[in-house]
Structure formats: structure tokens, C-alpha cells
Amino acid sequence: MIVAKTFKWEAAHRIPWHNGKCKHLHGHSYKMIVEFEGEPDENGFVIDFNIIKEIITPYIKAIDHTTIISSKDTELKEVFDTKKWKYYLLPFDSTAENLCKHFADLIIAEQQTLLKENKITALSIKVFETETSYTYLSVQLS
Ligand SMILES: [Zn+2]
């Protein structure tokens, strides 16, 4: 059974090498759905919705109302460093695919105990860049 929760944030970004309009700095109302798969325990819970909210919210707070910058985009990073503007640094371009992988990796690395305690067998992440465009990654944990 899958238990899922939706999170939202606002952020700006650009894909510097993109041939179309994505090379320009622009914003998205991002939406992320985090899915936890496992068997319900004796209380009928796979994982408590409140716990999901508690562990994921810090990741959302860190990226909300920032400009997501790739460390390879030295031109943009320099401007933000000079101006002391808030940004969220990634070691790769901020495509929806990379954001999906980024959050899956973060959650798996930092929430190992919780995932084990709740016997979570798969973690899946959907990152919506727009209402109609999203990426989906499912990672088997056992
Ligand atoms: Zn975009």
C-alpha cells in the first residue's frame, strides 16, 4: 500500500544551456508528491501522515522562495553572492528530473532509521514543474 503527501514551493531557476525559453531566469510553483510504500502495521498505518509532514517540511523550507542555482552556473551564482540574495545550490542543473533524484537521495540518506522502522519497501517522488509536467522516480528499498 502507498501513503503519499503533497508539498508545494515557489522558486526561480534557469537551465543555462537550454535552446528555448528555459535558459532565461523564470519561476515555477513546484509541487512534489512523496510516496511511501509498505504493509500497514497492526494499527493500520504504513507511516503516519504527520511524520511525513515533519520530515519533509524542512526540505521544502530550504528551497521555498529561493533561486535554484547549479554550481556550474558560475555567472548567476556570482550575482547572487555579490548581492547576498538567497539561493539553493545544486551540483547539477535544476531540471525536474534532477530535483526528483535530489529529493529521493536526500530522504533516503537522511531518513534511513525512519524508513527502516516503518518497513518502507519503496520511496517514490513526483516533482511537478507545472500543472501538466512532472517527473517520477521510484526507488526500491528492500
Ligand atoms: Zn523552468
Cα(68) to centroid of ligand 1, in Å? 10
Edge-to-edge strands, sheet with 26-37: 87-90, 66-70, 2-13, 26-37, 122-128, 134-140
Q: What is the 129 CA–ligand 1 centroid distance (Å)?
A: 7
- What's the predicted TM-score (pTM) here? 0.94
**Ligand 1 centroid, distance to 48 Cα (angstroms):** 33
Quote the ligand 1 centre to 30 CA distance (angstroms): 10
User: Can you give the residue ranges of every domain in the chain?
Assistant: 2-140
pLDDT attached to residue 142: 74
Q: What is the mean pLDDT of each run of 10 residues along the chain (142 residues)?
A: 98 95 96 98 96 98 98 97 97 97 97 96 98 98 85
The pLDDT of residue 63: 98
- In the reported structure, the alpha carbon of residue 14 is separated from the centroid of ligand 1 by a whole-number distance in angstroms of 6
**Options 1.10.300.10, 3.30.479.10, 3.40.50.720, 3.40.640.10; which CATH number does 2-140 get?**
3.30.479.10
pLDDT at 117: 95
Q: Is 16 left (phi over 0), alpha (psi -120 to 50) or beta?
A: alpha
Report pLDDT for 82.
98
State how far the Cα of 94 lies from the Cα of 96, in Å rounded to an integer: 6
